[in-house]
């Protein structure tokens, strides 16, 4: 019979295979907290005790402090991955964090022990970055080292100090321009017939994100016309990620929604859906698959897009609020934003038909596309 476990004040060694295999049991800090762990060792009993001593040294107070890179790889990134797997964080966010780590942090901090990160070194490092890069890097490093504090590796987080960030002038300002309703009509007339026309209408007149607009299939568009006002109800349930992959995991849980598109834009989308689109996709690549974001952006700018394609969503939010006078508490759920007050978080559960009723009323009060036939639409 295997020998009974021989215990010490820290761990135990149990023979499980006639002097050839031993099971070690010990307590150690893990990403899930301080837990009972085990490990199997092949070899002699001396090998097993030598390994137990090595593990104890690794987990003792005298062991070297983990580096920033070890905290990232061992604890923080797996934590982010679990959040992605549970739906609490989007895969695109994790991809951005990975990119920021590789680009701005790994070379400088990966091999630095957490207890040797000095505020002066952090400030000098920040001084050499552009504002946007510094901001992105700190958004990753602060919560990463919070994990090291939580597990008792260090007493305080050096990246939580108040640092002087680089000037905003060090980063080229992104184009944040938008279109008014009249300008959207003129833009639609200019690109009318383009292969990405459906994506344009979904983003500009439905407020969808770029990836969401590319992920709509013909079967996702339903007719909800009211008293002569065309209404296309668009189910948003998938997106085309920046990598080109089609995924049903959206930015957040609220992003799964049904969006009404009214007026001429809604009528065009309904016709496109009835025809089956491009192999079932409202915006396809001609080969039976949806278009990728990079191709869309390239074609958009080549065709004279005044502002980036993503700004169509900003334009929708702006004209909904300031030209059609739709209140923000109705705009936010249509955009797929999470509410912040008690009513939005726990009680308010509007349905697609109610959204459509509100937008139809706003459209009737301001027939903004009544004269667009002169534009050839």
Closest CA to 296 of 224, 352, 250, 239: 239
> 68-170 and 181-375 share one CATH topology?
no
- 36-94 confidence digits (pLDDT tens): 788 998 888 888 887 887 777 666 555 568 899 999 998 899 999 988 888 777 777 88
350: confidence class by pLDDT, cuts 50, 70, 90: low
- Which residue is it, tokens 């695109």? 92
- Spatial contact of 145 and 282, defined as CB atoms under 8 Å apart: no
Pick the CATH number of 68-170 from 3.30.750.24, 3.40.30.20, 3.40.1360.10, 1.10.150.130: 1.10.150.130
Residues 6+ apart with CB under 8 A from 67: 109, 110, 111, 112, 113, 114
CA dist 73 to 30, 69, 98, 144, 159, Å?
Answer: 13, 6, 11, 10, 18
Alpha helices by DSSP H, 60-90:
68-71, 77-86
Separation CA 254–CA 183 (nearest Å): 30
Label the pairing between strands 231-236 and 257-262.
antiparallel
Spatial contact of 250 and 276, defined as CB atoms under 8 Å apart:
no
> pTM of whole model > 0.95?
no
Average pLDDT taken over every residue of the chain: 85
Antiparallel, parallel or unpaired: β 231-236 and 33-42: unpaired
> Is residue 25 packed enough to be buried (19+ CB in 10 Å), middle (13-18) or exposed (0-12)?
middle
Q: Which residue has the tokens 């957040």?
A: 252
Provide the token pair at 123: 């400030």
- Report the chain's terminal Cα–Cα distance, integer Å: 87
CA distances from 235 to 19, 221, 290, 291, 333 (A): 63, 7, 16, 18, 13
Question: What is the residue extent of each domain of the chain?
Answer: 6-59, 68-170, 181-375
* For range 322-342, the mean pLDDT: 81
Residue 319 has what DSSP assignment? Answer: H
CATH T-level fold of 181-375: hpI Integrase; Chain A (1.10.443)
Q: Which residue has the higher pLDDT, 3 or 129?
A: 129
Res 51: pLDDT: 83
CA distance 266 to 287: 26
């Amino acid at each position: 019979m295997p020998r009974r476990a021989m215990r010490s004040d820290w761990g135990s060694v149990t023979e499980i295979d006639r002097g050839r295999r031993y099971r070690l049991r010990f307590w150690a800090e893990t990403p899930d907290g301080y837990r009972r762990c085990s490990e199997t060792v092949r070899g002699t009993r001396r090998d097993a005790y030598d390994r137990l001593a090595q593990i104890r040294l690794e987990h003792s107070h005298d062991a070297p402090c983990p580096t920033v890179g070890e905290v990232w790889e061992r604890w923080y990134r797996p934590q982010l991955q679990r959040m992605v797997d549970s739906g609490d964080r989007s895969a695109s966010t994790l991809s951005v964090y990975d990119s920021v780590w590789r680009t701005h942090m790994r070379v400088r901090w990966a091999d630095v022990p957490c207890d040797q990160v000095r505020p002066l070194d952090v400030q000098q490092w920040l001084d050499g970055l552009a504002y946007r890069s510094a901001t992105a890097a700190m958004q990753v490093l602060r919560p990463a080292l919070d994990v090291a504090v939580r597990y008792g590796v260090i007493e305080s987080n050096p990246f939580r100090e108040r640092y002087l960030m680089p000037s905003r002038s060090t980063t080229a300002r992104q184009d944040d321009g938008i279109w008014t309703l009249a300008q959207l009509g003129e833009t639609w007339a200019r690109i009318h017939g383009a292969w990405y026309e459906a994506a344009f209408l979904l983003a500009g007149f439905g407020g969808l994100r770029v990836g969401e607009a590319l992920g709509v299939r013909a079967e996702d568009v339903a007719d909800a016309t009211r008293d002569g006002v065309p209404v296309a109800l668009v189910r948003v349930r998938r997106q085309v990620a920046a990598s080109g992959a089609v995924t049903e995991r959206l930015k957040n849980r609220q992003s799964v929604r049904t969006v009404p598109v009214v007026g001429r834009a809604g009528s065009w989308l309904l016709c496109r859906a009835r025809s089956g689109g491009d192999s079932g996709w409202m915006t396809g690549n001609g080969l039976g698959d949806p278009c990728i974001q990079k191709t869309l952006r390239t074609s958009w700018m080549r065709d004279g897009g005044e502002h980036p394609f993503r700004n169509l969503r900003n334009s929708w939010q702006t004209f909904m609020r300031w030209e059609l006078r739709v209140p923000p508490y109705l705009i936010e759920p249509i955009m797929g934003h999470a509410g912040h007050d008690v009513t939005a978080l726990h009680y308010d559960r509007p349905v697609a038909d109610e959204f459509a009723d509100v937008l139809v009323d706003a459209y009737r009060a301001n027939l903004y596309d009544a004269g667009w036939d002169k534009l050839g639409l």
